[in-house]
Amino acid sequence: MLRTAYQFMKYDKSKSIGIIIGIVISIFLIGQQIGILTFLTGLMGGLVSSSRQDQGEIWVVDNITNNANELAKLDARLVQEIRSIAGVQETYAVVVASGSVKFPDGKTAMVSLIGSEAPHFVAGPRPDLVMDGKISGLIDDGAVSAEFYDESTFNNTVAPGTPVEINGKSAIIKVRTKNARGFGGSFFYTTLTKARYFGGFPETKISCVAVKVKSGFSRAQVIANINNTIVGVKAWDSTELKNTTAKFITITSNIGTSIGSLVVFAIISGFFIIGLTLYSAALDRLKDYGTLKAIGATNGYVTKLILMQSFLFAVVGFIIAQLMLFGFQKSVANAGLVLNFPPLLILGLFLVTLFISMGGSLFAIRKINGVEPASVFR
Q: Mean pLDDT across the stretch 321-350?
A: 90
121 and 190, same structural domain? yes
The CA-based angle 175-206-158, given to 5 degrees, is: 20
Which of 185, 248, 230, 206 has its CA nearest to residue 71?
206
Residue-level pLDDT at 375: 54
Query: Is residue 330 a part of any domain in this protein?
Result: yes
More confident: 288 or 318: 318
Alpha-carbon distances of 358 from 13, 45, 298, rounded to whole Å: 19, 38, 19
Pairing type for strands 205-206 and 130-132 reads unpaired
Query: Is residue 53 domain-resident?
Result: no
Q: What is the pLDDT of residues 102-158, one digit of tens each?
A: 999 999 999 999 999 989 999 989 999 999 999 999 999 999 999 999 998 899 999
Quick one: 277 and 206 in the same domain? no
User: Given a cut of 70, is residue 366 above it in pLDDT?
Assistant: yes
Does 180 lie in the same domain as 218? yes
Residue 239 lies in a domain: no
In the predicted model, what is the mean pLDDT of the chain?
88
Q: Which residue has the higher pLDDT, 318 or 15?
A: 318
Domain check: are 182 and 325 in the same one?
A: no
Residues 265 and 192 in one domain: no
191/185 Cα distance (integer angstroms) = 19
Higher pLDDT, 241 or 364: 241
Mark whether 89 and 223 lie in a shared domain.
Answer: yes
Taken in order 78, 81, 87, 88, is the CA torsion positive or negative? positive
- 20-63 pLDDT, tens per residue? 888 899 999 999 999 998 898 888 999 999 999 999 999 999 99
Q: Is residue 192 part of a domain?
A: yes
- On whether both 16 and 102 belong to a single domain, the answer is no
Domain count, the chain: 2
Residue-range definition of the domain harbouring residue 304 = 2-43+254-377
* Helix, strand and coil percent figures for the chain, each rounded to 5: 55, 20, 25
334 lies in some domain: yes
Do 158 and 268 belong together in one domain?
no
